[in-house]
Structure 1
């Protein structure tokens, strides 16, 4: 078997570890999937007007696992190019083959650099970003990490500010009086590393984060994942 054929077999095995979309509690939010390598080679256009400070608020995973784009893996997510995209409904799950394994403590260490950060949109609108570690499931022969990611913007002072925020998926809810209020976007992200397999799940629904890491871990163990 050629190297390419062997890589494809391993890639499809990894893909099979993710919960099938038609059985997935957040399946309706998944409208894009790809190998990690293909996504790295042809990434989605980065929103030009977003500046995260410190950079770890956006890139903590790449800082913790700098060779990640070169690893075998599969990723599924909500397509942020959709006109209806909102961070209130943004979902990602991913499975990666990590030769030699990885301790998620490295990921936690990188994310701690964004215990208090900022997100600036088009050099005009500034919000706060906060990563907070939460209780993670205890799983045999695995390391786990769960975090809350909070992005908050004050109520936009005018329609132009609200439009900038909405352009990046931060839609200010409107009250009974029709006036926009503050955006308080909260998502949770969970990592499970077992053997040479790393899972990641990001969801705005805490119930998904509560159930999915253990479900993925069991799928890997049942499949004989090391």
Structure 2
């Protein structure tokens, strides 16, 4: 093969490998040794590793009062999401103990993505959020790292200041320097205890295919402190 043709072949192969790498999902299955999840919000949330009961295998149990929240700051699901080519955040969730307020038929669930600068996170409500005790449900939120702030807001994302955050940064900048992703649930019965199981915390794409479940060892040293408080109403 001519040298020029060989170079072109190598370059084509490199592009193909890069495309495959960008398309690969990153999944926290919680089946490995060690983990680095944290609590988030003002609901007295606690976390416990469960060796079984996941979807499948191990999972994480979040328990809170009137609501709950969790965060994931492992290096596998942080960093430059734009360069990685990710466009979807998802989780499998199942209710264990669930009490709705008498005036509320459905609690609110949110995903959030937080920049490493300590700025306000970008937040999106989870549509049709209704975990059940019968089976796991997959919840997801789509995003485009190239969106302008106006485009992000038009697609349901908003920068939401909380106590302890410092200013705001653009949606695009947030996606280039992600330090923490997570979720929270609110509008459950005031003072009532609630618990959920979470498994397969995933960064992937919108492609309609089953993501490759890839165990990732969680690093307890990469923990981000939760915000001091979360408002009960948005």
Q: Same fold (TM over 0.5)?
A: no
Q: Structure 1 or 2: larger helix share?
A: 1
Which one scores higher on RCO, CA 8 angstroms, separation ≥ 6? 2
Q: TM-score, normalised by structure 1?
A: 0.32
